[in-house]
Amino acid sequence: MNSKGLDYTALIIAIVGAVNWGLIALFRFDLVAFVFGNMSWISRIVYGLVGLCGLYLISLFGRVGSSVGVSE
């Protein structure tokens, strides 16, 4: 099964989460809370999706390691 689309979607969501954490660290500005409200149900869903995508991307290590040397 080709999961390239899911990989890219998870990667984009994880990057958005990383940018949000960078904004929090540098400027004390939480973009998710600003857009969706402080701990509203939508912002909690966004935070949850970022966490799930991060966990899913752990599997990328195994798939990248196993595809080294294999041409597509």
- Domain membership of residue 8 (yes or no) is no
Q: What is the mean pLDDT of residues 1-16?
A: 88
- 53 close to 13: Cβ distance less than 8 angstroms: yes
Give the predicted TM-score (pTM) of the model: 0.80
Using CA atoms, how far apart are residues 36 and 68, in angstroms rounded to an integer? 41
Residues 6+ apart with CB under 8 A from 20: 30, 31, 32, 50
Asked whether residue 47 is domain-assigned, the answer is: yes
Token look-up 């969501």 returns: 13
The CA distance from 22 to 51, in Å, is 16
Tell me how far apart the alpha carbons of residues 16 and 69 are, in angstroms, rounded to a whole number: 31
pLDDT given for residue 25 in this prediction: 97
Q: Is residue 48 part of a domain?
A: yes
pLDDT at 64: 78
Answer yes or no: is pLDDT of 1 > 80.
no
17-58 pLDDT, tens digit each: 999 999 999 999 999 999 999 999 999 999 999 999 999 999
Q: How many domains, the chain? A: 1
Range of the domain at 56: 16-60
